[in-house]
Structure 1
Protein backbone atom coordinates (compact mmCIF):
# COMPACT_ATOMS: atom_id res chain seq x y z
CA UNK A 1 0.00 0.00 0.00
CA UNK A 2 1.24 3.40 -0.82
CA UNK A 3 1.87 5.75 2.07
CA UNK A 4 -0.85 8.31 2.87
CA UNK A 5 -0.51 11.78 1.37
CA UNK A 6 0.59 14.47 3.81
CA UNK A 7 0.31 17.98 2.34
CA UNK A 8 3.00 20.41 3.30
CA UNK A 9 2.17 23.79 4.81
CA UNK A 10 4.33 26.87 4.95
CA UNK A 11 5.47 27.70 8.44
CA UNK A 12 3.63 30.79 9.83
CA UNK A 13 5.97 33.33 11.36
CA UNK A 14 3.89 36.04 13.08
CA UNK A 15 6.93 37.77 14.50
CA UNK A 16 8.02 38.82 11.02
CA UNK A 17 4.65 40.49 10.31
CA UNK A 18 4.50 42.17 13.72
CA UNK A 19 8.00 43.67 13.39
CA UNK A 20 6.89 46.89 11.54
CA UNK A 21 4.15 47.42 14.11
CA UNK A 22 6.58 47.09 17.00
CA UNK A 23 9.00 49.55 15.36
CA UNK A 24 6.22 52.07 14.79
CA UNK A 25 5.07 51.72 18.40
CA UNK A 26 8.62 52.28 19.68
CA UNK A 27 8.90 55.42 17.57
CA UNK A 28 5.54 56.65 18.89
CA UNK A 29 6.59 56.04 22.49
CA UNK A 30 9.94 57.79 21.91
CA UNK A 31 8.15 60.76 20.32
CA UNK A 32 5.73 61.01 23.25
CA UNK A 33 8.60 60.84 25.73
CA UNK A 34 10.43 63.57 23.80
CA UNK A 35 7.29 65.71 23.75
CA UNK A 36 6.80 65.12 27.46
CA UNK A 37 10.37 66.20 28.25
CA UNK A 38 10.03 69.31 26.07
CA UNK A 39 6.73 70.18 27.70
CA UNK A 40 8.18 69.72 31.17
CA UNK A 41 11.19 71.87 30.32
CA UNK A 42 8.94 74.62 28.93
CA UNK A 43 6.77 74.50 32.04
CA UNK A 44 9.81 74.65 34.33
CA UNK A 45 11.21 77.58 32.34
CA UNK A 46 7.91 79.46 32.50
CA UNK A 47 7.64 78.80 36.24
CA UNK A 48 11.19 80.08 36.75
CA UNK A 49 10.54 83.27 34.76
CA UNK A 50 7.25 83.93 36.57
CA UNK A 51 8.94 83.34 39.93
CA UNK A 52 11.70 85.82 39.07
CA UNK A 53 9.15 88.40 37.94
CA UNK A 54 7.20 87.91 41.15
CA UNK A 55 10.34 88.36 43.25
CA UNK A 56 11.29 91.53 41.36
CA UNK A 57 7.74 92.89 41.76
CA UNK A 58 7.79 92.19 45.51
CA UNK A 59 11.19 93.91 45.87
CA UNK A 60 10.00 96.95 43.91
CA UNK A 61 6.83 97.12 46.01
CA UNK A 62 8.84 96.96 49.24
CA UNK A 63 11.16 99.71 47.97
CA UNK A 64 8.16 101.84 47.01
CA UNK A 65 6.63 101.38 50.47
CA UNK A 66 9.94 102.25 52.07
CA UNK A 67 10.72 105.32 49.93
CA UNK A 68 7.18 106.63 49.34
CA UNK A 69 8.14 108.83 46.36
CA UNK A 70 6.29 112.14 46.04
CA UNK A 71 6.41 114.91 43.49
CA UNK A 72 7.75 118.25 44.72
CA UNK A 73 5.07 120.65 45.93
CA UNK A 74 5.00 124.32 44.96
CA UNK A 75 3.08 127.08 46.74
CA UNK A 76 2.61 130.69 45.68
CA UNK A 77 3.67 132.89 48.60
CA UNK A 78 3.48 136.31 46.94
CA UNK A 79 3.12 138.00 43.55
CA UNK A 80 3.23 141.68 42.69
CA UNK A 81 2.65 143.50 39.41
CA UNK A 82 2.25 147.22 40.16
CA UNK A 83 2.32 148.12 36.47
CA UNK A 84 -0.96 146.28 35.90
CA UNK A 85 -2.78 148.81 38.07
CA UNK A 86 -2.23 151.41 35.37
CA UNK A 87 -4.42 151.82 32.33
CA UNK A 88 -1.42 152.07 30.01
CA UNK A 89 0.72 149.30 28.59
CA UNK A 90 2.69 147.46 31.32
CA UNK A 91 5.82 147.25 29.18
CA UNK A 92 8.93 147.81 31.34
CA UNK A 93 6.94 147.14 34.51
CA UNK A 94 8.23 144.42 36.83
CA UNK A 95 6.62 141.22 38.09
CA UNK A 96 8.02 139.97 41.39
CA UNK A 97 7.07 136.67 42.99
CA UNK A 98 7.92 134.26 45.77
CA UNK A 99 7.27 130.54 45.37
CA UNK A 100 8.18 127.85 47.91
CA UNK A 101 9.32 124.45 46.62
CA UNK A 102 8.82 121.62 49.11
CA UNK A 103 10.51 118.21 48.77
CA UNK A 104 8.46 116.06 51.16
CA UNK A 105 10.29 112.81 50.35
CA UNK A 106 12.04 111.24 53.30
CA UNK A 107 14.91 109.55 51.44
CA UNK A 108 14.85 111.07 47.95
CA UNK A 109 16.74 114.17 46.82
CA UNK A 110 16.02 116.17 43.65
CA UNK A 111 18.47 117.66 41.16
CA UNK A 112 17.17 120.76 39.34
CA UNK A 113 18.48 122.30 36.16
CA UNK A 114 17.99 126.05 35.75
CA UNK A 115 14.45 127.16 36.53
CA UNK A 116 12.72 129.45 34.03
CA UNK A 117 9.71 131.56 34.94
CA UNK A 118 7.10 133.12 32.69
CA UNK A 119 3.87 135.06 33.16
CA UNK A 120 0.92 134.40 30.88
CA UNK A 121 -2.23 136.43 30.25
CA UNK A 122 -4.95 134.62 28.29
CA UNK A 123 -2.34 132.07 27.16
CA UNK A 124 -0.14 134.89 25.85
CA UNK A 125 3.34 135.14 27.36
CA UNK A 126 4.01 138.65 28.63
CA UNK A 127 7.23 138.02 30.60
CA UNK A 128 9.92 135.34 30.79
CA UNK A 129 13.42 134.88 32.24
CA UNK A 130 15.61 132.40 34.16
CA UNK A 131 15.22 132.85 37.91
CA UNK A 132 17.34 130.14 39.55
CA UNK A 133 20.60 128.34 38.70
CA UNK A 134 20.94 124.52 38.90
CA UNK A 135 20.83 123.17 42.45
CA UNK A 136 20.31 120.03 44.52
CA UNK A 137 17.41 119.85 46.94
CA UNK A 138 17.82 117.37 49.82
CA UNK A 139 14.95 115.37 51.25
CA UNK A 140 12.57 117.11 53.66
CA UNK A 141 13.73 120.50 52.41
CA UNK A 142 11.97 123.70 51.37
CA UNK A 143 13.57 125.96 48.74
CA UNK A 144 12.42 129.53 48.19
CA UNK A 145 12.26 130.65 44.55
CA UNK A 146 12.39 134.42 44.15
CA UNK A 147 12.01 136.04 40.75
CA UNK A 148 11.74 139.41 39.06
CA UNK A 149 10.52 139.54 35.47
CA UNK A 150 10.21 142.46 33.10
CA UNK A 151 6.93 142.64 31.18
CA UNK A 152 7.04 142.72 27.40
CA UNK A 153 3.29 143.09 26.85
CA UNK A 154 0.52 143.28 26.23
CA UNK A 155 0.96 146.33 24.02
CA UNK A 156 -1.73 148.71 22.86
CA UNK A 157 -1.42 147.20 19.38
CA UNK A 158 -1.96 143.63 20.55
CA UNK A 159 -5.32 141.93 19.80
CA UNK A 160 -5.77 141.17 23.51
CA UNK A 161 -5.24 144.78 24.61
CA UNK A 162 -8.95 145.67 24.76
CA UNK A 163 -9.66 142.61 26.90
CA UNK A 164 -6.67 143.40 29.11
CA UNK A 165 -7.76 147.03 29.56
CA UNK A 166 -11.23 145.88 30.55
CA UNK A 167 -9.77 143.57 33.22
CA UNK A 168 -7.57 146.38 34.55
CA UNK A 169 -10.61 148.64 34.74
CA UNK A 170 -12.49 146.06 36.85
CA UNK A 171 -9.49 145.77 39.19
CA UNK A 172 -8.93 142.05 38.64
CA UNK A 173 -6.43 140.61 36.14
CA UNK A 174 -6.12 136.84 35.91
CA UNK A 175 -2.57 135.61 35.25
CA UNK A 176 -0.63 132.37 35.28
CA UNK A 177 2.87 132.10 36.72
CA UNK A 178 4.65 129.19 35.07
CA UNK A 179 7.93 127.56 36.15
CA UNK A 180 9.81 125.03 34.01
CA UNK A 181 12.91 122.96 34.62
CA UNK A 182 14.43 119.49 34.20
CA UNK A 183 14.74 117.37 37.32
CA UNK A 184 16.22 114.05 38.40
CA UNK A 185 15.39 112.13 41.56
CA UNK A 186 18.25 110.66 43.59
CA UNK A 187 17.78 107.55 45.71
CA UNK A 188 21.08 107.09 47.58
CA UNK A 189 23.62 106.44 44.77
CA UNK A 190 21.02 105.89 42.06
CA UNK A 191 19.64 108.71 39.85
CA UNK A 192 16.48 108.47 37.80
CA UNK A 193 16.11 109.71 34.24
CA UNK A 194 15.36 113.37 33.61
CA UNK A 195 11.82 114.67 33.77
CA UNK A 196 10.51 117.89 32.25
CA UNK A 197 8.94 119.72 35.17
CA UNK A 198 6.05 122.14 34.61
CA UNK A 199 4.54 124.19 37.43
CA UNK A 200 1.51 126.43 36.93
CA UNK A 201 0.25 128.86 39.59
CA UNK A 202 -3.12 130.43 38.80
CA UNK A 203 -3.60 133.86 40.38
CA UNK A 204 -5.50 137.12 40.17
CA UNK A 205 -3.97 140.54 40.70
CA UNK A 206 -6.07 143.27 42.32
CA UNK A 207 -6.17 147.05 41.86
CA UNK A 208 -3.03 147.57 43.93
CA UNK A 209 -1.07 145.17 41.71
CA UNK A 210 -0.75 142.52 44.42
CA UNK A 211 -2.13 139.00 44.29
CA UNK A 212 -5.51 138.60 45.98
CA UNK A 213 -5.39 137.02 49.43
CA UNK A 214 -7.27 133.88 48.43
CA UNK A 215 -4.40 132.89 46.12
CA UNK A 216 -1.66 133.34 48.73
CA UNK A 217 -0.10 129.99 49.74
CA UNK A 218 -2.24 128.23 47.17
CA UNK A 219 -0.75 124.97 45.89
CA UNK A 220 0.35 125.15 42.26
CA UNK A 221 -0.31 122.46 39.67
CA UNK A 222 2.69 120.23 38.96
CA UNK A 223 3.06 117.82 36.04
CA UNK A 224 5.86 116.08 34.17
Structure 2
Protein backbone atom coordinates (compact mmCIF):
# COMPACT_ATOMS: atom_id res chain seq x y z
CA UNK A 1 0.00 0.00 0.00
CA UNK A 2 3.04 2.32 0.34
CA UNK A 3 3.77 2.34 -3.41
CA UNK A 4 1.02 4.87 -4.45
CA UNK A 5 2.16 7.21 -1.69
CA UNK A 6 5.73 7.05 -2.97
CA UNK A 7 4.53 7.78 -6.51
CA UNK A 8 2.52 10.78 -5.27
CA UNK A 9 5.56 12.09 -3.41
CA UNK A 10 7.67 11.72 -6.55
CA UNK A 11 5.11 13.65 -8.64
CA UNK A 12 4.92 16.40 -6.02
CA UNK A 13 8.69 16.76 -6.02
CA UNK A 14 8.72 16.93 -9.82
CA UNK A 15 6.05 19.66 -9.86
CA UNK A 16 7.93 21.67 -7.24
CA UNK A 17 11.20 21.41 -9.17
CA UNK A 18 9.50 22.31 -12.45
CA UNK A 19 7.72 25.26 -10.88
CA UNK A 20 10.88 26.65 -9.31
CA UNK A 21 12.82 26.14 -12.56
CA UNK A 22 10.15 28.02 -14.52
CA UNK A 23 10.16 30.84 -11.98
CA UNK A 24 13.96 31.22 -12.00
CA UNK A 25 14.00 31.03 -15.81
CA UNK A 26 11.39 33.78 -16.03
CA UNK A 27 13.28 36.00 -13.59
CA UNK A 28 16.54 35.53 -15.51
CA UNK A 29 14.94 36.26 -18.91
CA UNK A 30 12.76 39.18 -17.87
CA UNK A 31 14.46 42.35 -19.12
CA UNK A 32 14.73 45.61 -17.20
CA UNK A 33 13.89 48.76 -19.09
CA UNK A 34 16.84 51.08 -19.73
CA UNK A 35 17.06 54.34 -17.80
CA UNK A 36 16.83 57.52 -19.87
CA UNK A 37 17.76 60.92 -18.49
CA UNK A 38 18.64 64.47 -19.49
CA UNK A 39 22.12 65.27 -18.17
CA UNK A 40 22.63 68.74 -19.64
CA UNK A 41 20.19 71.34 -20.98
CA UNK A 42 21.30 74.78 -22.11
CA UNK A 43 19.35 77.66 -23.66
CA UNK A 44 21.78 80.50 -24.48
CA UNK A 45 18.98 82.98 -25.24
CA UNK A 46 17.90 82.74 -21.58
CA UNK A 47 21.37 83.35 -20.17
CA UNK A 48 21.13 86.89 -18.78
CA UNK A 49 24.85 86.99 -17.94
CA UNK A 50 26.04 86.23 -21.48
CA UNK A 51 26.84 88.77 -24.15
CA UNK A 52 24.11 89.36 -26.70
CA UNK A 53 26.26 88.23 -29.61
CA UNK A 54 26.59 84.75 -28.05
CA UNK A 55 22.86 84.21 -27.75
CA UNK A 56 20.85 82.22 -30.26
CA UNK A 57 17.65 80.20 -30.66
CA UNK A 58 19.59 76.95 -30.38
CA UNK A 59 18.77 74.60 -27.49
CA UNK A 60 21.49 72.13 -26.49
CA UNK A 61 20.86 69.06 -24.38
CA UNK A 62 22.45 65.70 -23.61
CA UNK A 63 20.39 62.50 -23.50
CA UNK A 64 21.86 59.60 -21.51
CA UNK A 65 20.71 56.02 -22.11
CA UNK A 66 21.72 53.55 -19.40
CA UNK A 67 21.43 49.78 -19.82
CA UNK A 68 23.44 48.81 -16.75
CA UNK A 69 20.44 47.08 -15.13
CA UNK A 70 20.64 44.31 -17.75
CA UNK A 71 23.69 42.17 -17.06
CA UNK A 72 23.28 39.95 -20.14
CA UNK A 73 20.73 41.69 -22.38
CA UNK A 74 21.56 44.20 -25.09
CA UNK A 75 19.10 46.74 -26.49
CA UNK A 76 18.31 47.56 -30.12
CA UNK A 77 16.77 51.05 -30.26
CA UNK A 78 14.59 52.12 -33.16
CA UNK A 79 14.66 55.82 -34.04
CA UNK A 80 14.19 57.91 -30.90
CA UNK A 81 11.75 60.79 -31.39
CA UNK A 82 12.37 63.63 -28.94
CA UNK A 83 9.96 66.57 -28.59
CA UNK A 84 10.56 69.74 -26.57
CA UNK A 85 7.83 71.98 -25.19
CA UNK A 86 7.74 75.08 -23.06
CA UNK A 87 5.21 74.42 -20.31
CA UNK A 88 3.36 77.66 -21.06
CA UNK A 89 2.33 76.13 -24.39
CA UNK A 90 2.17 72.32 -24.29
CA UNK A 91 -0.02 72.15 -27.38
CA UNK A 92 2.78 73.33 -29.71
CA UNK A 93 6.28 71.83 -29.56
CA UNK A 94 9.19 74.23 -29.69
CA UNK A 95 11.54 71.63 -31.21
CA UNK A 96 11.62 68.09 -32.59
CA UNK A 97 14.60 65.87 -33.22
CA UNK A 98 15.11 62.24 -34.25
CA UNK A 99 18.06 60.14 -33.10
CA UNK A 100 18.99 57.38 -35.52
CA UNK A 101 18.64 53.70 -34.44
CA UNK A 102 21.56 52.05 -32.65
CA UNK A 103 22.52 49.03 -30.53
CA UNK A 104 23.57 49.25 -26.88
CA UNK A 105 25.39 46.36 -25.23
CA UNK A 106 24.54 44.97 -21.81
CA UNK A 107 25.78 46.90 -18.76
CA UNK A 108 26.57 49.84 -21.05
CA UNK A 109 25.55 53.47 -21.12
CA UNK A 110 25.83 56.04 -23.88
CA UNK A 111 25.05 59.72 -24.40
CA UNK A 112 23.79 61.74 -27.33
CA UNK A 113 24.48 65.49 -27.43
CA UNK A 114 21.85 67.30 -29.45
CA UNK A 115 21.63 70.83 -30.85
CA UNK A 116 18.24 71.93 -32.11
CA UNK A 117 16.84 75.29 -33.21
CA UNK A 118 13.69 76.42 -31.41
CA UNK A 119 10.64 76.99 -33.58
CA UNK A 120 8.42 80.08 -33.70
CA UNK A 121 6.21 78.41 -31.08
CA UNK A 122 8.82 79.17 -28.42
CA UNK A 123 7.40 81.91 -26.10
CA UNK A 124 10.68 83.78 -25.57
CA UNK A 125 9.15 86.82 -23.89
CA UNK A 126 7.33 84.66 -21.33
CA UNK A 127 10.41 82.56 -20.68
CA UNK A 128 12.60 85.63 -20.19
CA UNK A 129 10.13 87.15 -17.73
CA UNK A 130 9.98 84.06 -15.54
CA UNK A 131 13.50 82.69 -15.94
CA UNK A 132 14.79 84.42 -12.78
CA UNK A 133 12.56 82.05 -10.81
CA UNK A 134 13.13 79.18 -13.23
CA UNK A 135 11.32 78.60 -16.51
CA UNK A 136 10.22 75.05 -17.29
CA UNK A 137 10.59 72.94 -20.43
CA UNK A 138 9.09 69.54 -21.11
CA UNK A 139 11.02 66.75 -22.84
CA UNK A 140 9.06 63.80 -24.27
CA UNK A 141 10.62 60.76 -25.90
CA UNK A 142 9.02 57.96 -27.89
CA UNK A 143 10.69 54.92 -29.40
CA UNK A 144 10.51 51.15 -29.77
CA UNK A 145 13.19 48.74 -28.69
CA UNK A 146 14.10 45.08 -28.82
CA UNK A 147 16.14 43.15 -26.29
CA UNK A 148 18.93 40.83 -27.38
CA UNK A 149 18.92 37.79 -25.09
CA UNK A 150 21.73 35.34 -25.80
CA UNK A 151 21.24 34.53 -29.52
CA UNK A 152 17.73 35.84 -30.15
CA UNK A 153 15.86 39.12 -30.16
CA UNK A 154 12.51 39.86 -28.56
CA UNK A 155 9.65 41.58 -30.34
CA UNK A 156 9.54 45.37 -30.31
CA UNK A 157 8.39 47.11 -27.13
CA UNK A 158 7.02 50.66 -27.11
CA UNK A 159 8.46 53.16 -24.68
CA UNK A 160 7.08 56.63 -23.93
CA UNK A 161 8.79 58.74 -21.26
CA UNK A 162 9.11 62.39 -20.35
CA UNK A 163 10.31 64.86 -17.78
CA UNK A 164 10.29 68.54 -16.83
CA UNK A 165 13.47 70.62 -17.05
CA UNK A 166 13.82 73.83 -15.02
CA UNK A 167 16.14 76.41 -16.60
CA UNK A 168 17.76 79.22 -14.60
CA UNK A 169 18.60 82.78 -15.67
CA UNK A 170 22.03 81.47 -16.69
CA UNK A 171 20.35 79.33 -19.33
CA UNK A 172 21.30 76.01 -17.70
CA UNK A 173 19.15 73.32 -16.13
CA UNK A 174 18.61 72.73 -12.43
CA UNK A 175 19.92 69.28 -11.55
CA UNK A 176 18.23 67.43 -8.68
CA UNK A 177 21.00 66.30 -6.31
CA UNK A 178 23.59 67.07 -9.01
CA UNK A 179 22.20 64.29 -11.17
CA UNK A 180 20.34 64.37 -14.45
CA UNK A 181 16.57 64.51 -14.78
CA UNK A 182 15.20 61.01 -15.25
CA UNK A 183 12.60 60.61 -17.99
CA UNK A 184 9.71 58.61 -16.58
CA UNK A 185 5.91 58.52 -16.37
CA UNK A 186 5.80 56.13 -19.28
CA UNK A 187 5.58 52.41 -19.85
CA UNK A 188 7.44 49.58 -21.51
CA UNK A 189 5.35 46.69 -22.74
CA UNK A 190 6.51 43.38 -21.30
CA UNK A 191 7.32 40.73 -23.89
CA UNK A 192 5.02 37.75 -24.25
CA UNK A 193 7.78 35.30 -23.43
CA UNK A 194 8.13 36.88 -20.00
CA UNK A 195 4.37 36.95 -19.40
CA UNK A 196 3.97 33.29 -20.37
CA UNK A 197 6.97 32.22 -18.31
CA UNK A 198 5.65 34.03 -15.26
CA UNK A 199 2.19 32.53 -15.70
CA UNK A 200 3.58 29.01 -15.98
CA UNK A 201 5.69 29.51 -12.88
CA UNK A 202 2.72 30.89 -10.95
CA UNK A 203 0.42 28.01 -11.95
CA UNK A 204 2.98 25.37 -11.01
CA UNK A 205 3.68 26.98 -7.65
CA UNK A 206 -0.09 27.22 -7.06
CA UNK A 207 -0.37 23.47 -7.75
CA UNK A 208 2.42 22.86 -5.28
CA UNK A 209 0.51 24.57 -2.47
- Same fold (TM > 0.5): yes
Partner of 2:97: 129
1:179–1:63 distance in 2 versus 1, CA, 3 Å: same
Using structure 1 for the length normalisation, give the TM-score. Answer: 0.62
Partner of 2:110: 143
Q: Distance in 1 between matches of 2:157 and 2:28?
A: 22
Give unmatched runs, 5+ long, in structure 1.
1-50, 87-91
Using structure 2 for the length normalisation, give the TM-score. Answer: 0.66
1:109 aligned onto 2:71: no
Residue by residue over 1:67-94, the C-alpha shift from the partner in whole angstroms, topping out at 9 and shown as x without a partner, is 45211012321100112347xxxxx711
RMSD: 2.8
Instruction: Indicate if the aligned counterparts of 1:114 and 1:133 stay in contact, CA closer than 8 A.
Output: yes
Partner of 2:182: 219
1:192 aligned onto 2:159: no
Instruction: Indicate if the aligned counterparts of 1:79 and 1:210 stay in contact, CA closer than 8 A.
Output: yes
Greater RCO, 1 or 2 (C-alpha within 8 Å, sep 6+): 2
Q: Distance in 2 between matches of 1:134 and 1:110?
A: 11
- Equivalenced residues, count: 162
1:72 aligned onto 2:34: yes
SS where residue 84 of structure 1 aligns?
Answer: strand
Q: Distance in 2 between matches of 1:199 and 1:145?
A: 16
The one of 57, 61, 76 equivalent to 2:23 is 61
Higher gyration radius (CA) = 1
Give unmatched runs, 5+ long, in structure 2.
1-13, 49-55, 189-209
Instruction: Indicate if the aligned counterparts of 1:67 and 1:106 stay in contact, CA closer than 8 A.
Output: no
Partner of 2:58: 94
Q: Which moved more, 1:204-213 or 1:67-76?
A: 67-76
SS where residue 81 of structure 1 aligns?
Answer: strand
Instruction: Indicate if the aligned counterparts of 1:85 and 1:171 stay in contact, CA closer than 8 A.
Output: no
